[in-house]
């Protein structure tokens, strides 16, 4: 019997048989299913961790880019065109690096979504 609020409702014979059958079959299936999905969950966790690392790298590069922008402005005020050019090239390199990191992160997210999809279809 199960309880809702203050009333008790007995299970029908069909519900009782279904529950007994589920209890007899389910443990082995759950153990198999759980053991199959443990590596997937571990991989997903590692991928999310790597994704956060990429985010930190992106922020670090963007902070450095802001510093370089300030250096370009200072060099321009001084009239030092050679250093302005090298700073500008560094800014371009940093932006390319950021776009590569964004691409890597998107691919990692795609892999995580594909693993999740495969796992949900296997259930």
pLDDT value at 16 more than 90: no
Residue 57, H or E segment: helix 13-78
Domain boundaries, the chain: 25-122
Structure confidence at residue 100 as a pLDDT band (50, 70, 90): very high
Tokens of 32: 């198999």
- pLDDT tens column, 29-78: 555 556 666 788 888 899 999 999 999 999 999 999 999 999 999 999 99
pTM confidence score: 0.66
Long-range contacts of 93-98 (CB under 8 A, 24+ apart): 94/61, 94/62, 94/64, 94/65, 94/68, 95/65, 97/61, 98/58, 98/61, 98/62, 98/65
Residue 9, H or E segment: strand 7-9
Euclidean distance between CA atoms 76 and 110, whole angstroms? 43
> CB count, 10 Å around CB of 16?
12
Euclidean distance between CA atoms 16 and 97, whole angstroms? 62
pLDDT value at 23 more than 60: no
pLDDT at 40 (0 to 100): 82
């Amino acid at each position: 019997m199960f309880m809702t609020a203050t009333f008790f409702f007995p299970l029908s014979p069909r519900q009782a048989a279904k529950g007994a059958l589920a209890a007899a079959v389910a443990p082995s299936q759950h153990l198999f299913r759980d053991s199959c999905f443990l590596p997937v969950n571990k991989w997903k966790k590692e991928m999310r961790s790597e994704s956060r690392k990429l985010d930190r790298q992106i922020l670090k590069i963007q902070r450095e880019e802001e510093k370089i922008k300030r250096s370009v402005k200072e060099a321009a005020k001084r009239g030092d065109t050679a250093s302005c050019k090298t700073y500008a090239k560094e800014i371009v390199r940093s932006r390319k690096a950021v776009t590569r990191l964004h691409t890597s992160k998107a691919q990692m997210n795609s892999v995580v979504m594909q693993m999740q999809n495969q796992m949900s279809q296997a259930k």
